[in-house]
Amino acid sequence: MYAADKDIALSTQDDWVPIREISRVTGVNTVTLRAWERRYGLLVPRRTEKGHRLYSRDDISRVQEIQRWLVRGLAIGKVKALLANTEREYELPPIDSVWLTLVAQFHTALGNFQRHSLERLIEETFALYPTEMLADYVVQPVLQTLQGDEPGKAAQRAFFTAVLQEYLVAGQQRLRQSAQHAGVVLVSVGANENPLLLHTLNYSLLVHQYQAECLGYLEWCDIQICTEALSAKILVIIGYENLNAGGLKLQLDVWRERSGIPVIVAGNLAQVFNALATDPGSGVLTCENHQQVLAAIKQLLKADQKG
């Protein structure tokens, strides 16, 4: 049961669900769902006598359709008009990618090194768009363009990492209170790996109500200890820097012999392990971005429940 109030308990029996349930099913943060309702009128939930929001199955389908348009780059402010167009499947409007616009806005904020502007932009975007989409279409592109030896890039990258990581860590405690699904451990096997994408994935998993633990860089012996101690169901290894692919493959072979916990290899590392993904018995799935990681976790847990 998602709430103690009797009026919610009774309503959910009639196919109406509270906001935490629609968030669990769709993976959209409750903060984002409220913002879509208040600012854009995209959702109109009914209310219980105590003022709690309740959503129908149609609302869930609507949120999922909104997500599909966001993936295509449609700005959230333009979604309502498009959904109201009953002939939208036949006359699709031109779409200017909101992701490119957001990347440009982040570069402007970073170029000025103004913490307040950057914090406001982070709060605004993470309130309106799903975290995994922001990770794939905004955070990763920003980090990628800040690579290299050009003067100022390293400073902007460090500033971006510090401010965004601060925001993500601050929100994790609140999200962790709702976590109820199987545990997922996130690690990096590169000592010099930027921690930001790992923390962004951890935040996204907590939004989806997984009991995620972001442990950063660990040696393989410590990874084994942590996954067992935390009763993890899935291990996610994320990496974007150049690593010894052969050595990592060897470690994964040893892991498969010693542990029954499936592994997801994410980021640039995924390209190295595409061959393993074709082997159903390998226990390794490869994902190039955060959205694929979330889909893979759902797939693995669904298979585990059936087994």
Give 143-191 pLDDT, tens digit per residue. 999 988 889 999 999 999 999 999 999 998 888 887 877 899 999 988 8
Mean pLDDT along residues 46-71:
91
What CA–CA distance (Å, rounded) separates 136 from 201?
10
Lowest pLDDT segment from 198-202, 234-238, 245-249: 245-249
Q: Please give the mean pLDDT across all residues of the chain.
A: 85
- Structure pTM? 0.85
**Cα–Cα–Cα angle for 190, 149, 238, nearest 5°?**
20
What CA–CA distance (Å, rounded) separates 133 from 38?
21
What CA–CA distance (Å, rounded) separates 289 from 270?
9
* Structural tokens at position 194: 């930027």
Instruction: Please check the confidence at residue 281 and state whether its pLDDT lies above 60.
Output: no
Give the pLDDT confidence score for residue 4 in this predicted structure. 38
Sign of CA dihedral 293, 298, 304, 306: negative
Give 21-51 pLDDT, tens digit per residue. 898 889 899 999 999 999 999 999 998 888 8
Of 181 and 121, which is predicted with more confidence? 121
Give 256-276 pLDDT, tens digit per residue. 888 889 999 998 888 776 654
What CA–CA distance (Å, rounded) separates 190 from 188?
5
* Structural tokens at position 81: 């008009």
Q: What is the DSSP string of 23-78?
A: HHHH---HHHHHHHHHHH-----EE-TT--EEE-HHHHHHHHHHHHHHHTT--GGG
**Cα–Cα–Cα angle for 203, 209, 212, nearest 5°?**
55
* pLDDT > 70 fraction of the chain, expressed in percent and rounded: 86
Helices (H), 230-266: 245-258
CA-wise closest residue to 222 among 179, 266, 176, 191? 191
Lowest pLDDT segment from 130-139, 188-197, 220-229, 245-254: 245-254
Maximum mean pLDDT: which of 74-83, 244-253, 277-286: 74-83
